[in-house]
Structure 1
Amino acid sequence: MGALCRGRRTQATAPGRIDMALERNAAHASRNARPLHGGHTTEPPRRGSLTTITYMNKLSWKLWVAAGAVVAAAAGGAWWWTQARTPEVAWRTAKIERGPLQATVSASGAVNPVTQVSVGTQVSGQIKELHADFNSEVKAGQLIALIDPETFEYRLRQSQADVDAAQAAVLTAQANAAASRAAVSRVQVDLAEAKRDHERKAMLVNRQFIAQSEADKARALVDSTAEALKSAQAQQAVTEAQIKTAQANVKQRQAALAQARVDLARTRITSPVNGIVIKRAIERGQTVAASLQAPELFVIAQNLRDMQVDASIDESDVGRIRTGQRATFTVDAFPGQTFEGEVRQVRKAAQNVANVVTYVAVIGFSNTAGRLLPGMTANVRVVTDSREGVLKVPNAALRVRLAGVEPAAGAASAADAVRPRPAEGPPDAQSAATQQQPAGGGPGGAAQELRARLRTELKLTPAQLEQVDAIYAQARPKFMQLRDLPAEERSKARERISAEVRASIGALLTPEQKPLYAALQAEGAGRAVTRGRIHLLGEDNKPRAHNVRLGITDGTSTELVVPANSPEAAVLKEGALVVTGAGGTGTAPAARPAGPRMPF
């Protein structure tokens, strides 16, 4: 109970102690207070009171406001500084150049001999002798391997014995036939005697020297003898047929004998051509079995000095490959060395591997040094087209697309009006027919080039040249009317007019000129003109978009087709700067404004 009373006194006196401490603090503050202008003193709030807490809250709020103002000022200064330092866009540029250009098709293939013969066997047996090895030079008919002939020799002897037996059977049949002929003769004699006896007895019966029964017996003998003659004649026919059967059997045996001789000869494996053995697939003592397919024993290359590369051309590029085009290739065995050849054949048999369709182009070349070996992998480049002195732009410029930069509508329509799209029609007909004529009245531009090629390559006569000019003059208004047709009908109409032009030109050519014209058409078909867009950099460092027509490409640069009478010819010229990208090396950025740096 005493402890409880002491605890209660302690709790009761605790507030009293706090109040006493607060009074002492207030008195100390009153002694230290300084008077103000009005003679009043400012009494600070007492610690631990409600006034003290309110004062601290106001001070904290003011500090937060000041900090926010400082952060906002810093952000505004940073924004102003970055805006003042932002330079103009720096463009990567290149120049439009003029020079030669080659379009190529790349492919890979294998080096193979022009004539490669696989030597097999038509008979089964064990290899007894080998007379050729890898790299052996062989002649046509030379023995290169021998299959054990013992079995085939026995078969030959058996076939010979069968022939001899068949020939003996023929002799037997001939003897039987002779006996049959003798029997027929004997019966014929008996029949003649029976007839004479019957005639005598018939005469005696008329004179009544003998009885009628004797005459009847003689008549019966004549009839039986006649039937016996028929039987003998039939037997003779049988023996004659037996002779033919025996003779046919002889022929069968002789054929079997000849087959046995052929099989025996086939045990000698000989070279069918003059060449070099590039593969040997057998060893001495090995057994080969010829069943449905002859096993391969040797592979002989007829000539390793005249070889070829069988290149796999993708279906998207095979339309540009033609016979006679120049090709170059490299092999890993001779790095840094380039070998030359030409396209000899484009095979029409498609090869589909993993849904990838390719066609084989045969590239012929001369291997006089003998360095290239069959089976080497060749990386082929076929030159499909070439240009001299054309405008060309980097391919990087054709990939640039700038937001908000579009070509002028008037320039685009003017460019389209100069020349229809040759990609939708044969260049030999459409491009030439749509060119405007110069003041002299002759064809100009592509027409002049085509006309010159027709004259030189096809050797056209003056009369034929006049007819060609007339054909183009008639087709020109038709091509000009295509722009009035709907877009979906324009392509078909253009192809129809081009076909008419080609047919008209082909009709006036001689049989010797028609193949040359067909080759010229195939070459022109590979020179399709496509569309693209480039951006030229002006003097004010502003890019301007231009729709252009593109020709061939070598993978790095692309031909720029600019007709002489085009409004774009004054802009799309040699030396003009074309945009290839943004940033990096380019036009120098604008000068940065001077000013003090912010302290934050």
Structure 2
Amino acid sequence: MNLKKWSATALVLVAAAGAGWWWMQRGDAPAVSYRTAKIERGGLQATVSASGAVNPVTQVSVGTQVSGQIRDLYVDYNAEVKAGQLIAQIDPETFEYRVRSAQADLDAARANVLTAQANAAASRANLSRAQTDLAEAQRSHDRNLNLVAQGFIAQSEADRTRALVASATETIKSAQAQLGVSEAQIKSAQATVAQREAVLAQAGVDLGRTRIKSPVDGIVIKRAVERGQTVAASLQSPELFVIAQNLSDMQVDASIDEADVGRIRTGLKATFTVDAFPGQSFDGEVLQVRKAAQNVANVVTYIAVVRFSNAAGRLLPGMTANVRILTDARENVLKVPNAALRVRLPGVEPAGAAPADAAAPVAAAAGSGAGGRNPMTELRDRLVQQLKLTEDQIGKVDGIFASARPQFAALRELPEKDRPKARERIMVEVRARITDVLSPEQKPLYAALVAEQSGRQSTRGRVFVLGADGKPQAFDVRLGISDGSMTELMMPANSPLADTLKVGAEVIVGTQSAAPRAASGPRFSF
């Protein structure tokens, strides 16, 4: 039994020794090395990229309001035209016959007027004759009455002349009625003449519309018809030509994503390239941001109009332009590689909150807060100076900021992910209250100031720096604008981190195993 126990013990010891030898041969877990990059100082430019099409500032679609066959074409692509110049002719034969028919109807109507006027003249003559007969009958009746009174004639003779007077009176009434009818016929005939004149004028207009003329000075950039082609304008005017009024001043209609449109405002500088001239850049300026949304495949975009000069005539309508709009620029600022902001090292947390955190909600709402100055104070001063606020307005604005500070301070109690939305709700309320204080002349200036500030809001980030012991240290920082590869590191001059996060300081941009396995290859973490 003792021999068996010793044998079992020996086997366990041998197995343990073998496992230890295997573990020693495998070695410890590979150490982690860090890839670093330096903090730099220099300029940064924040841009928004978009694509669009080159278009003339003004282009006119020339159509036709009458139907027919194209008989002649007088211009072609790229032809320069003047306003009023004949550019096409529709066969006018049908419209010429309509004019002749309308002219004949007008002549007949005018003849009817003359006939009605002649009938009225005859009616007036009949009335005059009836009035004369009545006067004669009245005189005869008056004489007979005198003779009857003197006993020279019988009463029957007076009765006869009385009947003649009554008959003449009725004849006058009939003549007057006939004259009224004749005058009404004249007015009816004259109205018919006016109607026929309108028909003739319309026929003349339609005949004139067979001559297609250029409405503006410009260049023909599209011709949609051929000689002999029939065009129908029954429902809508067909497009015959497209004329660009001026190819020296053109624009790019760029589609801006809804996430970036808040950073775009009029007056911003822009550059763009086109495939036709690789390696060349063209300068422009944002002229307009259209409020109408474009929804394509559930992607919402807005059109920003970039105006530029095309004096050399090199760019042509319809070219695809890749646009970069400069939304903000900073000079002589600290900047850190974007890769450093994407590094995540589990278990490494900052020793304490960044000094700017106490004012973070206010700084993010008000603007950059560069130089350690109170951001709310800086924003207030800009409002006073740029909007020229009155004393009464200054007092109201100060009250608005004072009531907002406790709300911003309360943001620190919220989870990090909920702070941006809550902060934006507060700022929307603050902006609305400030707008109510301003005059109609000040409101556009304030809207431009808000648009400018929206592109300068700071965000929070974290960077890792290797300490003296070779271990990473985490620091929460405030970040400004980014150009896609570098991001502004907002570091007030009096910040305790100014000596650590300075020009030349090494920040971690990735990790790599010091002894990676050959089978799996190197592993990086970003």
Alignment partners' CA distance in 2, 1:161 and 1:268:
24
Matched ranges for 1:143-182 at <5 A = 143-182=86-125
Is residue 114 of structure 1 aligned with residue 75 of structure 2? no
Alignment partners' CA distance in 2, 1:77 and 1:502:
78
The structural deviation recorded for 1:236 is: 0.5
Q: Which residue of 2 aligns with 1:22?
A: none
Contact preservation (8 Å) 2:43, 2:331:
yes
Matched ranges for 1:389-400 at <5 A = 389-400=332-343
Pair 1:231–1:453, CA change in 2 (3 A): closer
Is residue 561 of structure 1 aligned with residue 477 of structure 2? no
The structural deviation recorded for 1:398 is: 1.7
The structural deviation recorded for 1:204 is: 2.2
Instruction: State the identity as a percent.
Output: 63
Alignment partners' CA distance in 2, 1:453 and 1:96:
34
Contact preservation (8 Å) 1:119, 1:299:
yes
Q: What residue identity is the alignment partner of 1:533?
A: R
Could you tell me which runs of 5 or more consecutive residues in structure 1 were left unpaired when the two chains were aligned: 1-57, 437-442, 590-600
Matched ranges for 1:357-376 at <5 A = 357-376=300-319
Is residue 522 of structure 1 aligned with residue 465 of structure 2? no
Moved more, 484-493 or 556-565: 484-493
Relative to the length of structure 2, the TM-score reads 0.86
Is residue 99 of structure 1 aligned with residue 42 of structure 2? yes
Q: Which of 347, 361, 367 is the equivalent residue of 1:427?
A: 367
Contact preservation (8 Å) 1:418, 1:566:
no
Higher strand share: 2
SS at match of 1:403: coil
Pair 1:469–1:70, CA change in 2 (3 A): farther
Pair 1:261–1:466, CA change in 2 (3 A): closer
Q: Which residue of 2 aligns with 1:77?
A: 21
The structural deviation recorded for 1:69 is: 7.4
Contact preservation (8 Å) 1:277, 1:300:
yes
SS at match of 1:328: strand
Pair 1:261–1:526, CA change in 2 (3 A): same
The structural deviation recorded for 1:155 is: 1.2
Q: Which residue of 1 aligns with 2:500?
A: 571
Q: Which residue of 2 aligns with 1:547?
A: 476
Residue-by-residue CA offset, 1:127-161 (whole Å, 9 max, x unaligned): 11111111111111111111111111111111111
Is residue 316 of structure 1 aligned with residue 247 of structure 2? no
Alignment partners' CA distance in 2, 1:156 and 1:544:
93
Q: What residue identity is the alignment partner of 2:509?
A: T
The structural deviation recorded for 1:237 is: 1.0
Moved more, 297-306 or 66-75: 66-75
Q: Which residue of 2 aligns with 1:240?
A: 183
Relative to the length of structure 1, the TM-score reads 0.76
Alignment partners' CA distance in 2, 1:265 and 1:64:
120
Alignment partners' CA distance in 2, 1:260 and 1:491:
64
Alignment partners' CA distance in 2, 1:342 and 1:288:
41
Superposed CA RMSD in Å reads: 3.4
The structural deviation recorded for 1:67 is: 9.1
SS at match of 1:375: coil
Residue-by-residue CA offset, 1:422-442 (whole Å, 9 max, x unaligned): 44x3439xx59xx97xxxxxx
SS at match of 1:174: helix
The structural deviation recorded for 1:564 is: 3.0
Pair 1:474–1:349, CA change in 2 (3 A): closer
SS at match of 1:292: coil
Q: Which residue of 1 aligns with 2:467?
A: 538
Q: Which residue of 1 aligns with 2:357?
A: 416
The structural deviation recorded for 1:536 is: 2.1
Is residue 217 of structure 1 aligned with residue 168 of structure 2? no
Alignment partners' CA distance in 2, 1:358 and 1:491:
22
Alignment partners' CA distance in 2, 1:470 and 1:542:
52
The structural deviation recorded for 1:342 is: 0.7
Alignment partners' CA distance in 2, 1:477 and 1:144:
69
Alignment partners' CA distance in 1, 2:283 and 2:335:
27
Q: Which residue of 1 aligns with 2:208?
A: 265
Q: Which residue of 1 aligns with 2:220?
A: 277
Pair 1:218–1:92, CA change in 2 (3 A): same
Q: Which of 180, 192, 211 is the equivalent residue of 2:135?
A: 192
Q: Which residue of 2 aligns with 1:6?
A: none
Contact preservation (8 Å) 1:98, 1:390:
yes
Q: Which residue of 1 aligns with 2:419?
A: none
The structural deviation recorded for 1:530 is: 1.7
Residue-by-residue CA offset, 1:321-369 (whole Å, 9 max, x unaligned): 1111111111111111111111111111111111111111111111111
Pair 1:522–1:477, CA change in 2 (3 A): same
Q: What residue identity is the alignment partner of 2:89?
A: L
SS at match of 1:420: helix
Pair 1:161–1:472, CA change in 2 (3 A): closer
Alignment partners' CA distance in 1, 2:446 and 2:262:
17
Alignment partners' CA distance in 2, 1:503 and 1:563:
34
Alignment partners' CA distance in 1, 2:424 and 2:63:
56
Q: What residue identity is the alignment partner of 2:510?
A: G
The structural deviation recorded for 1:393 is: 1.5
Pair 1:454–1:343, CA change in 2 (3 A): farther
Q: What residue identity is the alignment partner of 2:448?
A: A
SS at match of 2:144: helix
Q: What residue identity is the alignment partner of 2:192?
A: N
The structural deviation recorded for 1:230 is: 1.2
Q: What residue identity is the alignment partner of 1:411?
A: A
The structural deviation recorded for 1:224 is: 2.4
Alignment partners' CA distance in 1, 2:430 and 2:214:
58
Q: What residue identity is the alignment partner of 2:478?
A: R
